[in-house]
Chain A
Amino acid sequence: MQILINKSVAFVVTMMTVFAVEAVAQGVSYQRVADMLYLVLSADRAVYTEKVVQRLTLDEQVIMVSEHFEDDAALPLPSQMFRFGSEYVADETEDFSYSLVSLDPINKKNGPGTDLEREGLEFVVDNPDEAFYGEEELGGQLYFAAVYADIAVAEACASCHNNHQDSPRDDLEVGDVMGGVIIRIPVE
């Protein structure tokens, strides 16, 4: 009898552990997917910024970089390249989405659009080395959301944002948090 009770308790404990691990694993997996996506996104943009834009515009000085790159036969800005990618993804899938947002956006539509975006952006301004994770419901769907700090890595980033006539800031310096990248994954 004692053996039976012991075995039952052991079985229940084991099952609970499995459930807990499973649940944690579920939670972690969204976070890990977001972290991995962010790594790809930021890596691609870094490569574009360094190997294409900086090399061709500053080092070799063979082409300009311009917001109106088509009119000016120039290279798109790294942030534009990033945004085009995000729109490309949005056109292809609803499995995840990402965008570049800021508390001080040049284009007002890139300002914090939801409570979570504001919270996340404020968090990464204070903790540039950490990511902010949360969940929010949009359009009747629950999303896992992760916000990562977007830092002015080059002088060009800061100066452009300081000088643009639609920008609310003119005091940005290299190393400052200009905004954040938010990645959303619908929670099934």
Chain B
Amino acid sequence: MSKSWMVWGTWLLLTLIAIFVVVMWMTVSGDRDLLLIGKTTDAHHQIEMACETCHAAGSFASTKAATKAINKSCRNCHDDELSKADDSHPRKKFRNPRMAAYWEKLDARLCTSCHIEHRPELTRESAVTVAMNFCIACHSEGDQDVRQIRPSHAGLTFDTCASSGCHNFHDNRSLYADFLVKHANDDWLAPSPIHQLSALYLARDQSSNRRLADFKAIAPASSLTDSTVVDDWAGSAHASSDINCGNCHAPGIADNQERLQVEANWVDDPDLGVCKDCHKNETRTFRQGRHGMRQHPKIANPRDTDRQLQQLGLDQLMPAFLKSWFSDPVHPLHMTVAEARLPMHKNASDQVLNCGTCHNPHAVDVRHAAVEACLGCHSDDHSVAYKDSRHYALWQAESSGDAAPGTGVSCATCHMAKVKRRGKITVSHNQNDTLRPNEKMIRPVCLDCHGLSFALDSLADESLIQRNFNGKPSVHVPSISWAVQREKEDEESDR
């Protein structure tokens, strides 16, 4: 064989091998970040290796089918929050054929009309991938021209609709005109500012004042040597609710009082999955937020290389070293601090995000979980500035017993919303419930203590947010005065 044939033969072989590797990454491998065409948006980057979650239409599907599948995936995770947000532009409103004229302008039936992934260049605030003056598509002509309908809007440009703190595309629960008028005369601070749901939540009867002697820890003797652990547990709500050592350390046993059973099934470091059996709501909401979204039931688990190979009928053919190469590394099931895109403390990078990260499983001190747990990892300006803020001073006063429950403002007060439903108060563990856009925070959090105008202005002032609300807002959102003015004119014309 001539030299040139050898060279070209080798090249052909290497090319085929490279194509094989790429095809295996696409069809078999769990981890395949080299295939990404661009940086995934914040939050979604956590699940970017669960490609199948969104690209659910299968290989070589038509553009229409692929788009449909992707949009279905969006709704799988985001439908609930959108419906809770009383979405102003829900898909169902645009599916009616009488909206056909709008489909061509901006097809609001599809999430992907405004939000496409892996396009960092186009990605703006809130993962919007069209120019922020998009309202112009439907609200600039004829009967829909807001500049005509609302005299106050006459000289406005469409890039200001969403950036001014006046409108959101989806969630306008605290921005609609009647609400603005209703809260037009709010003082900036209530006379006795108390966050009602926090007060109620903290005042729950936890029976933690019962003496240690009332409780009996049932565990192997060798595990009872650390008296702080036992003390912590005995003072916790777990002990008072008859949750004994065995419930978590020997999961699955029939009777947590049976010492022999407990000892036989004892696990020193139980998987924190044991929490979810009782704390269903917390688990559900935790998986909706950025801390636990990788475990969201609608998010595909890391792809199992062996199973994929079996499906393709290649498991017998592929040598073991190749199998292990394609299955390595397995994407971790839990989010780690190191993978976060927000600034985090370096020494926390090994932390894995699950229940135990914030909650000491024995003490279950919600006050620790409300501040110190957060600040153990988060090191961005807003977090670092918290301890210099008025909110923290109030929290300290409350913690030391100098002020009433609900007067303090912790990280959790704003970011772990308390929800009252059917008379029961729970904590949403979706830290995003009150964010994105941040006006979501106004009703469940801010308004208990502050006036609407003050809240709107503060949340529109980015530098004030960075200083963790240390000071007064330097931005003013004019929406309330415009709404009041319009109401006044209407009343005058009625008269």
Contacts and interface: CB of A to CB of B under 8 A. Distances in A.
* Touch A–B, Cβ below 8 Å: yes
Interface of A: 67-68, 70-71, 86-88, 90-91, 94, 97, 99, 101, 108-109, 111, 113-114, 117, 138-139, 141, 143, 163, 165, 170, 182, 184, 186
B150 to A, nearest CB: 10
A97 B97 contact: yes
Given A108-B143, A108-B149, A117 B98 contact: yes
B179 A139 contact: no
Contacts of B143: 108, 111
A87 to B, nearest CB: 4
A87 B90 CA distance: 9
A87 B98 contact: no
B99 A113 contact: yes
Interface in B112-157: 143-144, 149
A90 B92 contact: yes
19 contacts: A68-B178, A71-B179, A86-B96, A88-B92, A90-B95, A90-B96, A91-B95, A94-B95, A97-B95, A99-B96, A99-B98, A101-B98, A108-B149, A109-B144, A113-B98, A114-B101, A143-B97, A184-B98, A186-B97
B217 to A, nearest CB: 46
B454 to A, nearest CB: 20
Interface residues of B, number: 22
A64 to B, nearest CB: 14
A91 B91 contact: yes
B490 A165 contact: yes
Contacts of B95: 90-91, 94, 97
Contacts of B487: 165
B92 A87 contact: yes
B103 interface: yes
B99 to A, nearest CB: 7
Contacts of A97: 95-98
B92 A139 contact: no
B190 interface: no
A143 B179 CA distance: 39
Closest 9 CB pairs of A and B: A139-B100, A138-B100, A91-B92, A165-B490, A90-B95, A87-B92, A138-B97, A90-B92, A108-B143
B298 interface: no
Given A70-B86, A97-B98, A111-B143, 11 more contacts: A86-B96, A87-B90, A87-B92, A90-B92, A108-B144, A113-B99, A138-B100, A138-B101, A139-B97, A163-B494, A165-B487
- Candidate in B93, B144, B149, B486 with the most chain A CB atoms within 10 angstroms: B93
Contacts of B101: 113-114, 138
B97 A141 contact: yes
Contacts of A101: 98
Nearest to A98: B96
Contacts of A99: 96, 98
